[in-house]
Amino acid sequence: MNCYEHTLIAKQDLQEDQAKILVNKYKDIIIKNAGKVLKVEEWGLKNLSHIIKNNKKGFYFHIKFEGIGKTIDELEKAENIDQTLIRYLTVRVKAHDLEKEYFEKKKL
Amino acid sequence: MKKSRNFKKNKKNYRQSKLSLFQKSDLKFTKNCPLSGKNAPVIDYKNIKLLKKYLSESGRILPSRVTSVSLKKQKELSRSIKRARLLALL
Would you call A44 exposed, middle or buried from its count of C-beta atoms within 10 A (0-12, 13-18, 19+)?
A: middle
A83: closest CA of chain B, how far (Å): 17
pLDDT digits (tens, 9 = 90+) for A63-78: 999 999 999 999 999 9
- pLDDT at position B13 is 54
Handedness of CA A42, A43, A46, A51 (dihedral sign): negative
Residue A94 phi, psi dihedral angles, 5° rounding: -75, -45
Mean pLDDT by 10 residues, chain B (90 residues): 52 61 67 84 90 91 90 93 91
pLDDT at B62: 93
Q: What is the pLDDT of residue B73?
A: 92
Do residue B88 and residue A91 have CB atoms under 8 angstroms apart? no
Structure confidence at residue B1 (pLDDT): 47
B48 contact residues in A (CB cutoff 8 A)? 102
pLDDT per residue over A78-107, tens digit each?
999 988 899 999 999 998 888 888 887 655
- pLDDT tens for residues A39-61? 898 888 889 999 999 999 999 99
- Interface-testing mutation among B45, B46, B55, with chain A (most A C-beta atoms within 10 A): B46
Residue B73 Cα, gap to closest chain A Cα (Å)? 16
In angstroms, the CA B69 to CA A102 distance is 23
- By C-alpha distance, the chain B residue nearest A103 is B46
Instruction: Report the pLDDT value the prediction gives residue A107, as an integer from 0 to 100.
Output: 53
DSSP string covering chain B: -HHHHHHHHHHHHHHHT--STTPPPSS------TTSSTTPPPP-TT-HHHHHHTB-TTSPBPPHHHH---HHHHHHHHHHHHHHHHTT--
Identify the residue among B44, B83, B89 best suited for mutation to test binding to A, counting A beta carbons within 10 A and taking the highest.
Answer: B89
The whole-angstrom distance between B47's CA and the closest CA on chain A is 6
Q: Whole-model pTM? A: 0.77
